[in-house]
């Protein structure tokens, strides 16, 4: 069996690829949520100015958080929200940030998820955020459910009732990033038609080797 080793130039390319992916997975969903919030704030400013102020204040906080996350990404650190809230809390916080700026209703179900290795938490959180970004941008969904379940392996599932998969198009950057996140912790990832219509994204993330 032929083994391949990264030479320094390859290692630099890999580091750049990881950084670009982290920017896409972390900053992308955050900015998408802020853009939705600004759209909602513009509507409120015209129809309910008193309600626009609190929303703009939250958006200002989210911008500061995004700036902090960019700095953390540049230094290789974990997402700040995971450190503060843990995986379930971070997912709920992200869902809450979408709640008043997009009509899709998102339910979060976490069944006895214990403390997990940080690499597994990061993979799960990034997969969920990217999946939700796809839902609000492309799915045309009214409802979405996020499920986290643990039975020695962390099972992540995001299911929406939107338009579903379109044809056999190639895996794009977002879908490819979710797949890579799962593979990097020794897990599996798939995207498929949901049983009742829409799209189902599922990842199984084992804890073996996690740190």
Domains belonging to the chain, first-starting first, are 8-206 (3.30.565.10)
CA distance 182 to 202: 10
pLDDT tens-place string over residues 29-85: 888 888 888 888 888 888 888 888 888 888 888 887 888 777 766 655 677 888 889
Asked which of 8-12, 21-25, 27-31 is least confident by mean pLDDT, the reply is 8-12
Kindly tell me if the per-residue pLDDT of 18 is higher than 80: no
Kindly tell me if the per-residue pLDDT of 114 is higher than 70: yes
Quick one: pLDDT at residue 172? 56
């Amino acid at each position: 069996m032929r083994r391949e080793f990264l030479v320094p130039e390859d290692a630099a390319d890999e580091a750049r690829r990881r950084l670009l992916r982290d920017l896409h997975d972390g900053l992308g969903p955050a900015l998408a949520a802020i853009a939705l919030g600004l759209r909602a704030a513009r509507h409120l400013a015209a129809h309910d100015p008193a309600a626009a102020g609190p929303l703009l204040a939250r958006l200002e906080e989210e911008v500061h958080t995004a700036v902090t996350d960019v700095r953390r990404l540049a230094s290789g650190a974990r997402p700040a929200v995971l450190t503060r809230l843990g995986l379930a809390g971070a997912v709920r916080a992200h869902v809450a940030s979408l709640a008043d700026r997009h009509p899709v209703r998102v339910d979060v179900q976490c069944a006895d998820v214990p403390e997990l290795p940080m690499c597994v938490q990061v993979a799960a959180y990034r997969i969920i955020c990217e999946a939700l970004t796809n839902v609000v941008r492309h799915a045309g969904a009214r409802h979405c459910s996020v499920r986290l379940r643990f039975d020695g392996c962390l099972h992540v599932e995001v299911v929406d009732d939107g338009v579903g998969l379109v044809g056999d198009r190639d895996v794009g950057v977002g879908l490819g990033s979710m797949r890579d996140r799962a593979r990097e912790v020794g897990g599996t990832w798939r995207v498929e038609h949901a049983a009742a219509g829409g799209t189902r994204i599922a990842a199984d993330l084992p804890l073996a080797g996690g740190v």
